[in-house]
Amino acid sequence: MLGRFGTWAGQKYYLDRMGLGELVVAFFTHYSIQVYLLLATLAIGATAYLAEDPWPPLAAALAVLALYPLVEYVLHRYVLHAKFLYKSPLTAKMWKRIHYDHHQNPHDLSVLFGALYTTLPPIALITLPVGWLIGGAAGATAALAAGLLVFTGYEFCHCVQHLPFTPANSWLREVKKRHLAHHFHSEQGNYGITSGIWDRVFGTLYRSRELPRSPTVHNLGYTGHERDRYPWVGDLSASEEEYARRRTRRPA
């Protein structure tokens, strides 16, 4: 795979200094995206082999697509923005990798992508039972394929939201605006990345003028007393001052 040794070898990518063409190359040569696509291909092949009737696997795949926006919202709000992960030395490194670093430097592509050890287990644990209940073994593999492909789409959508351009598509333009507000105005809302429907349902959808600017938008509240009391993420990180310098003095 190219992701480890090709385009990504020894390089850093900052989305606010990239164009769409550069993103496409970096995206499809990242090892995690290659793994999702490879596993999805294998799961589709397994579905074709196992299925006696195409409708149950199709129904399982559609169920995953329907459930995805809610799963995205719940995990983002109640897991990634919760405090319990940094309060344990067993999960502090994982929280730093999957979300703290991204809020510290939202345009760094290397920490925007999820780590495979944090993404593949949830995808499998959510999609396989749903698919099995709907369509047995073929439904399970179809649901897994759908979950992998929709998550790949999520990763690309997330990347595009950090590119320095205004999308022509009104839906993408709106989700981009909400997501940038989540990163640069207040992290206490706009949890949906690909859809705002569940933010609307739970009352967390906002425009920048509707909320005061959050002082913890970049550090997620992991600062001061919290950082002193639960030092494990801090021990793995540069100082807060160094992070601030990195955001303003990245290499061209």
Q: What percent of the chain has pLDDT over 70?
A: 91
Strand runs labelled E in the chain: none
Judged against a pLDDT cut of 80, whether residue 248 lies above it is answered with: no
Judged against a pLDDT cut of 80, whether residue 238 lies above it is answered with: no
- Environment class of 84 (CB within 10 Å of its CB; exposed 0-12, middle 13-18, buried 19+): exposed
Say what the pLDDT of residue 127 is: 98
Tens digits of residue pLDDT in 50-93: 999 999 999 999 999 999 999 999 999 999 999 999 999 999 99
Quick one: pLDDT band at residue 249, thresholds 50, 70, 90? Answer: low
Hey, what are 165's tokens? 């351009």
| Beta-carbon contacts of residue 10 (< 8 Å; ≥ 6 apart) | none
What span, in angstroms and rounded, lies between the C-alpha atoms of 48 and 44?
Answer: 6
Q: Domain-by-domain residue ranges, the chain?
A: 2-248
**Which residues lie across from 14 on neighbouring strands?**
108
Say what the pLDDT of residue 169 is: 86
Judged against a pLDDT cut of 70, whether residue 4 lies above it is answered with: no
Q: Which amino acid is at 85?
A: L
Tens digits of residue pLDDT in 179-222: 999 999 999 999 999 999 999 999 999 998 889 999 999 999 99
Q: Which amino acid is at 80?
A: L
What span, in angstroms and rounded, lies between the C-alpha atoms of 4 and 113?
Answer: 14
What is the reported pTM?
A: 0.89
User: What's the whole-number mean pLDDT along residues 6-15?
Assistant: 79
Give the other-Cβ count within 10 Å of 250's Cβ.
14
Place of tokens 């199709």: 58
Judge contact between 175 and 195, C-beta under 8 A: yes
Say what the pLDDT of residue 172 is: 86
Higher pLDDT, 58 or 239: 58
Q: What percent of the chain has pLDDT over 90?
A: 83
Say what the pLDDT of residue 12 is: 86
